[in-house]
Amino acid sequence: MNGSIDLPLDVAELSFTASGDARVRRSVLPSGVRILSEHVPGVRSATLGYWVAVGSRDERAATPGATDASGRESGFGSTHFLEHLLFKGTDKRTAFDIAIAFDAVGGEHNALTAKEHTCYYAKVRDSDVGMAVDTLTDMLTSSLLDPVEFENERGVILEELAMAEDDPADVASENLFSAVLGDHELGRPIGGTPQAIREVSRNAVLEHYRANYRPQDLVITAAGAVDHDDLVARVTDALVDAGWDLDTPARPVERRTLTTSTITRRSALIVVRRPIEQVHLLVGMPGLTASDDRRMTMSVLSSILGGGMSSRLFQEVREKRGLAYTVYSFAASYSDAGIFGMYGACSAAKARQVADLMLDELRRLAADGVTDEELRRAHGQLSGASALALEESETRMSRLGRAEITLGEFIDLDESLRRLALVTAEDVRTLARDLLNQPLSLSAVGAVDDDVFAGFGEDTKE
């Protein structure tokens, strides 16, 4: 295959060429467990990911003992709390056994909670793939959620949140999401708030675990030195060993609907005053959803505007004026909403100038478009960076997970580059205009007050 391939939930087996020599195979077990692997010839390591399509956005305020129609009544912060607890022991393995398993072979082992999914992953040498499958499967299926470990981990998570609170770039970014996405559930912080973590009960986290970690929820992806048949056999053995019912047929959970939610912005301006050297500034607005046809255009736009040392933001803010060390643009997409933003960090005296420059550059894109030379360069940058990234099995493992969990479609590198080549200067200009027609928000953390940004963005409108 060259192109894209659908990943229907009720097709048991699929096999196709991914990129270069790599081959993707996908199996859906009768119980609804999905296993996708990408065998890369000649490498001696593999990355495995165990995914469930539940993230911070799916949390509701806890009502002890009650669940809503989707079974997702779990309390704010419980997704991230559960992610921590799955490392804390099963009836076969203590927390220390789990830690030892990967440390003893020099493997990498971690997890991440996102807004729409949670993923537990490991990178190991080829000879350790069996250990990784056994350990990850046991963690996912058989966590004890021990009450003593639960209270200990509450302290650890509060420290993690304290660390994030001390990171002004992190705070400014969370506030931009909140400002742009308003009361939409995507606007909440992934890790929960300290108050939510102090309040959440073991029962709420247990409820979340039972409701969302069933066979039909589980997606396993692997890339590198893996053999698909071997992987399926090992996973099946490990799931049976865990006592999971693999015989009762179940269809994989339906994917989220890829649609566009109505966003009501919470606020135009969130400024947190802190006595620090730099101001961390973000300017942003609603962006594109994960299924939006304009996502390739967005990649080109963000590459040209703020994607590297030759980008317009880097040139105007850092190279020509020496105002900042870091400045870039970014786009994040979810099933029903997205965000586009620009980030810069500078001294307080220059914060307004940098905010104005960032907006000016986006307006210049909307007014004058981009040159053919910039289009060519963006194409080269995105294709080269993709090729380098695909040398890492982590990237391929993640790509499989996103395809299965969010998109329902696998798009190979050649097809991505083909779509990229179709993006025109007019497409970029139109998208820049569309972005500027969205309500604009600004978030800042540093030694500034609201009035520094008075009237920001109100002078001219596209």
> Binders of a copy of itself among 278-317, rule CB under 8 A?
278, 307-311, 314-315
Alpha carbon separation from 386 to 107, 331, 401 (Å, rounded)? 25, 16, 17
CB 226 within 8 A of CB 397: no
- Figure out which of the listed residues 61, 233, 240, 276 binds a copy of itself, where binding follows CB under 8 A: 276
- Taking the C-alpha atoms of residue 211 and residue 70, their distance in angstroms, rounded to an integer, is 8
Handedness of CA 258, 51, 110, 128 (dihedral sign): negative
Q: How far is the CB of 155 from a copy of itself (least distance, A)?
A: 3
Strands 269-273 and 118-125: unpaired
How many residues form the binding site for a copy of itself (CB under 8 A)? 72
Burial 326-336 (b: 16+ CB within 10 A, else e): ebbbbbbbbbb
Q: Report the C-alpha dihedral over residues 24, 30, 31, 32, rounded to 10 degrees.
A: 40
The one-letter code for the residue type at 172 is: A
Shorter beta-carbon distance to a copy of itself: residue 123 or 188: 123
Stretch (H or E) spanning 207: helix 202-212
Tally Cβ neighbours within 10 Å of residue 251. 12
- Figure out which of the listed residues 95, 206, 258, 425 binds a copy of itself, where binding follows CB under 8 A: 95
Residue with structure tokens 């704010």?
Answer: 76
From the candidates 59, 83, 153, 374, give the one annotated as an active-site residue.
83
Kindly state whether residue 417 participates in binding a copy of itself, applying the rule CB under 8 A: no
- Figure out which of the listed residues 147, 243, 275, 455 binds a copy of itself, where binding follows CB under 8 A: 275
> Binders of a copy of itself among 160-179, rule CB under 8 A?
160, 162-163, 165-166, 168
Q: How far is the CB of 366 from a copy of itself (least distance, A)?
A: 22
Kindly state whether residue 387 participates in binding a copy of itself, applying the rule CB under 8 A: yes
> What is residue 62's three-state secondary structure?
coil
Q: How far is the CB of 13 from a copy of itself (least distance, A)?
A: 30
Q: Mark 250-269 with x for binding to a copy of itself (rule: CB under 8 A) and - for no binding.
A: --------------------
> Binders of a copy of itself among 183-222, rule CB under 8 A?
none
- Figure out which of the listed residues 91, 277, 426, 449 binds a copy of itself, where binding follows CB under 8 A: 277
- Taking the C-alpha atoms of residue 214 and residue 225, their distance in angstroms, rounded to an integer, is 27
Kindly state whether residue 444 participates in binding a copy of itself, applying the rule CB under 8 A: no
Residue with structure tokens 């479609």?
Answer: 409
Q: How far is the CB of 101 from a copy of itself (least distance, A)?
A: 9
The one-letter code for the residue type at 285 is: M
Shorter beta-carbon distance to a copy of itself: residue 44 or 461: 44
- Taking the C-alpha atoms of residue 444 and residue 272, their distance in angstroms, rounded to an integer, is 6
Shorter beta-carbon distance to a copy of itself: residue 109 or 265: 109
Shorter beta-carbon distance to a copy of itself: residue 325 or 462: 325
Q: Is 83 a catalytic residue?
A: yes
> Binders of a copy of itself among 314-343, rule CB under 8 A?
314-315, 318-326
- Figure out which of the listed residues 12, 44, 422, 461 binds a copy of itself, where binding follows CB under 8 A: 44
Tally Cβ neighbours within 10 Å of residue 44. 9
- What residues does 269 pair with on adjacent strands? 442
Q: State the catalytic residues.
A: 83
